[in-house]
Structure 1
Amino acid sequence: MLESIVGTLNGYLWGYVLIAGLLGLGLYFTIATRFVQFRYLGEMGRVLFEKSTLQDGKSISSFKSFCIGAATRIGTGNLAGVAVAIGLGGPGAVFWMWIVALVGGATSFIESTLAQVYKVKDKTAFRGGPAYYIEKGLGKRWLGIIFAVLIAITFGLIFNSVQSNTISEAYVNAFGLNGTVVGIIITVLTGLVIFGGVQRIANVSAVVVPIMAVLYIIIALIVLALNIGQIPAMFALIVKSAFGLEQAVGGGIGAAIMNGVKRGLFSNEAGMGSAPNAAATASVSHPAKQGFIQTLGVFLDTIIVCSATAFIILMSGIYSSGDTAGIQLLQDSLGDHIGGAASIFIAIAIFLFAFSSIIGSYYYGETNIEFIKESRPAIFVYRLATMAMVMVGAVLPLAFVWSLADLFMALMTLINLVGIALLGKVAFKVLKDYEMQRKEGKDPTFNPKKLGIHNTECWGDQDKKKDELVG
């Protein structure tokens, strides 16, 4: 009964509401910002490696913030998720993943810029996200609390069980290990990191994310080089299948769009309201800088990493048989290209991808628990619950949990889309202010009072400190 209800709700939300909302709002933000996600590609690279504006040893740099966001984006969605999308929606699903990323880049800029504008400062670091900008920008704390509850359950608990399940499945396939043993190892490692706080999360992400992304992309390039003659036909297949011009495995154009959008969002998270929680942690001189950086994260996730997975699968042809699915399909496909070592490589890659997602997803939950109520006992219990779900995910089949994850993800995305639609004009002002200062040759700084933006307690505090120093 419950599975039927969840399935019906997912069909409606993902089949109609979210496709219209994500693509529609993404197009609106793209036009309103004059294609910010494309115009500022160079600027994104420039600000990525800027140092923190607060040299206190505790603040988070732009790069570490980017890595926290990338850690949750680059996970099972890039590997197992892409395989699922191709299995259910055919090669055309890849095209719609790309579209979600291209228009979603503008959405990501808006939500991450807003997260910086309305961030708050706790004892050791900045924090923020949709719950915070919904409260401070719209004055709707009750709606912020609903979002906070949804993301804490979705990311820290449900998504993390999905991540550990994928790790366990990959290691059982590659090495024949016992799922319980794998679960215990992942759970212990998770506890060691999340009990160290946001600084440890940021430091681990800053090491793991670049390594795993580079290794995986290198393997994908090797596969492309080995199959260079197939590349034109592969791209033609993706485009034709996206518009129903060629028979697609798993369904026609409707299945391609729905699965491409669903798995694209699960992977790059543009518009979902998750990445802004990472964007808020950075110490920067202007909110737009984090908007640029998180937009770059969307492109890295989908245009590069998800495409790498898709190319590996499509060039093998194994997907067309329908005999394997999920992470096993990717392992078998890569094995078709490079031999028996593929399962081992994918198992290692999925561990790095998924484990970094676990710790990043946990942080998203923690910062939203703190939004509801700052309570050390509550955080302690949440950490234990996260570890428990990691263990459960490693040993139990999770077909229903994937459906539940889709539903919770849809609900939190809807709330965030409403929030950024209503607050979009604030982000437009911030972008315009940044552009004007750059034209004047300045390194942009942010003064919300000049722009008529209120309830920015963090930026207000910085202004007061500057005034006191001048005085």
Structure 2
Amino acid sequence: MAAPGALPAAAAADTCDEGPVVCALQAADDAFYIYVLFALLIAVGLYFTIRTRAVQFRHFGTMLSTIASSRAGAAGGISSFQAFAVGLAARVGIGNVAGVALAIVAGGPGALFWMWVVALIGMATSFIESTLAQIFKERGRDFTFQGGPAYYIKNGLRSRTWGAVFAVMCIVSVGVTVVMVQTNSLAQVLGATVVSIKPWMVGAALVVLTGPIVLGGLKWVARVTEVVAPLMALVYVLVTAVVIVLNSGDLPRVLGEVLRGALGVDQALYGVSGGIVAAVLNGVRRGLFSNEAGLGTVPNAAGTATVAHPVRQGLIQSFGVFVDTIVVCTATGLLILLATGTYRPGDDRLVGAVLTQRAVVEHLGEWTVWPMVVLIFVLVFSTVLGCYSYSQVNVNFLGGERRAEQAFGLLLTAAAYAGTVLTLPAVWALTDIALGLLGLINLVAIVRLGPWALGALHDFEAQAARGVAEPVFIGHGNPLLPGDTVEGVWEAPPADGAPGAGGAVGRA
């Protein structure tokens, strides 16, 4: 998922031609991000990096081993890997194809470096928010759980009102408007690439694919995304690997351009605003909204998993930030920067996904046009499924039963179609602002609830230090926690080893 805006406030104001209302929204949007949200997201990421003693680096090996064993132990619910795949599906979307291209055009090659920096910092934030989603989750239906910011605001901060505010904003922004702008981008890209494809055709295809899956509920979405999301990311990275091998001689040059651009050495050459400021602003903005760390979206998926310890899911979702930015966004950046016949510094005639696609064509030939069309389609399709999962958790928080879930599934499917056939400049700006407000609420919540996640981390590490192969979390009477977790979740398993309150033995 990526925020619509790409330029610094001044640049956006100079280039806006959408009318006074939309331009005012875009100006407010840029000012809010640059002067408020950016600073908070980075500050919170640094704060949790320090408080966790750089958990994202110390436990990177644990992340990999956890991923390898994360498909088991769901006890009839949603597995840890499925929750990771849902988060990855929403993270790895058209923003990874179009957003990186926009950042490089606007901020130069140095923007890619700053995307790396905010991803490495944001991994700590993602760990905290996803761990909290597990700590404060509640039991749902059919052996599933429900968790996320709305739940940890209600159960941790004891404010159902603010939990409900977050839930409503998440449903409207992520479940409707984000879906519309994603599919709108898809229709525009496909229309510019293959003129025979009409917007309504794209919308109809999305309806046929999306409708039956989302009407099946969270389990169906999890089953589809655990296959689609990792597969599409793997295919995209393999394409990039082929390009890098074919252009290995140019790789030192490209990496040098990235570092020089990041430090402002080549500031006369890059970015619409020029210099290190453009590189930082565009790299940070695109990085933050590609990996979603701190926005409060991914925890909605993280809280649905059945795991033995909250820290396991926190580590897995933190790894998702790494995959999104360090792997997939880097893949896009290198594709573009290695395409000397397609990308030239300061040339903004080709932008977004079109630039990325033309770079692939330059490297591998015209035959790649249709495979890239299919890949971009699948990227958006999987993001729509991820948006459904995030929003559905919040529908349930507000008391929605099975009929409400199905009604929302129909609404999301309609939004997916509408986005392909409507012009949405105002919706893009409003979506950006709504996501930013979600992030603001979430950041306040996770900073206040940080001691819970830090206590869980200490608990996990203490068990691992004692040689426990699979640490099990006990949320009641745990001296490392500020209090007890929700009733019915995370109690100690019975001494006889029979299934207890957590579902499977030692599982919550």
| TM-score bracket for the superposition, by shorter chain length | over 0.9
Aligned residue in 2 for 1:5:
24
Q: 1:140 aligns with which of 138, 159, 163?
A: 159
Q: Equivalent residue of 1:308, what SS?
A: helix
Higher alpha-carbon deviation: 89-98 or 460-469: 460-469
Give the letter aligned to residue 186 of structure 1. L
Deviations 1:451-471 (A, max 9, x none): 344452266464376689599
Partner SS state of residue 319, structure 1: coil
- Structure 1 residues 397 and 339, CA, compared in 2 at 3 Å: closer, same or farther? farther
Residues 1:76 and 2:126 are matched in the alignment: no
Correspondence for 1:381 among 391, 407, 411: 407
Equivalent-residue separation in structure 2 for 1:297 and 1:19 (angstroms): 20
Q: TM-score, normalised on structure 1?
A: 0.95
Match of 2:281 in 1: 258
Partners in 2 of 1:43 and 1:261 — Cα distance?
Answer: 27
> Pairwise mapping of residues 60-459 of structure 1 onto structure 2 (< 5 A)?
60-124=78-142, 125-175=144-194, 176-246=196-266, 247=268, 248-252=270-274, 253-317=276-340, 318-320=342-344, 321-442=347-468, 443-448=470-475, 449-451=477-479, 452-454=481-483, 456-457=485-486
Distance in 1 separating the partners of 2:135 and 2:417: 37
Amino acid at match of 1:161: M
Secondary structure of the equivalent of 1:463?
A: coil
Task: State the Cα distance separating 1:346 from its structure 2 match.
Answer: 1.6
**Counterpart of 2:478 in structure 1: which amino acid?**
K
In 2, are the aligned partners of 1:92 and 1:243 still within 8 Å (CA)?
Answer: yes
Question: Once the 2 structures are TM-superposed, how far is the Cα of residue 265 of structure 1 from its aligned partner?
Answer: 2.0
| Alpha-carbon distance change, 465 to 250 in structure 1, aligned in 2, over 3 angstroms | farther
Distance in 2 of aligned mates of 1:52 and 1:116: 17
Quick check: 1:60–1:202 contact (8 Å CA) kept in 2?
Answer: yes
2:96 partner letter = N
**Residue 44 (structure 2) aligns with:** 25
- Where 1:270 maps in the other structure, the secondary structure is coil
> Residue 113 of structure 2 aligns to which amino acid in structure 1?
F
Change (3 A) 1:470 1:400: closer
Change (3 A) 1:286 1:243: same
- Matched to 1:298, the amino acid is V
* Closer/same/farther in 2, CA of residues 95 and 458 from structure 1, 3 Å limit: farther
The Cα shift of 1:34 comes to: 0.8
Asked if the contact 2:74–2:80 (Cα under 8 Å) also holds between the matched residues in 1, the reply is no
- Asked if the contact 1:72/1:358 (under 8 Å) is kept, the reply is yes
Contact 2:22 2:425 in 1 (8 A): no
Structure 1 residue 415 displacement after superposition: 0.7
Instruction: Tell me if structure 1 keeps the 8 A contact 2:139–2:488.
Output: no
Q: 1:199 to 1:466 in 2, by over 3 A?
A: farther
What code does the residue aligned with 1:457 have? Answer: V
Q: Counterparts of 2:466 and 2:298 in 1: how far apart (Å)?
A: 30
**Distance verdict in 2 for CA 1:459–1:53, change over 3 Å:** farther
The number of residue pairs the alignment matches comes to 469
Question: Post-superposition shift, 1:16?
Answer: 1.7
Shift of 1:309: 0.5
With normalisation by structure 2, the TM-score equals 0.88
In the alignment, is the contact (CA less than 8 A) between 2:193 and 2:354 conserved in 1? no
User: Which amino acid letter does the alignment assign opposite residue 438 of structure 1?
Assistant: A
Take 2:391 and 2:484, find their aligned partners in 1: how far apart are those partners?
23
**SS at 2:492 equivalent:** helix
Q: Give identity over the alignment, percent.
A: 41
Q: Which amino acid aligns with 1:265?
A: L
Contact 2:138 2:489 in 1 (8 A): no
Gaps of 5+ in 2: 1-19, 501-508
Q: Is the 8 A contact 1:90 1:251 kept in 2?
A: no
Determine the C-alpha separation between the residues in 2 that align with 1:194 and 1:373: 18
Cα distance in structure 1, aligned partners of 2:91 and 2:40: 20
Q: Which deviates more, 1-10 or 337-346?
A: 1-10
Write the deviation string for residues 141-179 of structure 1: whole angstroms up to 9, x where unpaired.
222122112211221111111221233234334432111
2:53 pairs with one of 16, 23, 34: 34
Q: What displacement does 1:431 show? A: 0.3
Contact kept in structure 2, 1:174 and 1:344, CA below 8 Å: no
In the other structure, the counterpart of 2:6 is none
| RMSD (CA atoms) | 2.0
Change (3 A) 1:362 1:458: farther
For 1:463, the aligned partner's letter is: A
Letter in 2 for 1:429: G
**Residue 455 to residue 396, structure 1, CA distance change in 2 (3 Å):** farther
Of 414-423 and 151-160, the range deviating more from structure 2: 151-160
Runs of 4+ aligned structure 1 residues displaced above 6 Å come to 464-468
Partners of 2:257 and 2:487 in 1: CA distance? 50
Q: Is the 8 A contact 1:118 1:458 kept in 2?
A: no
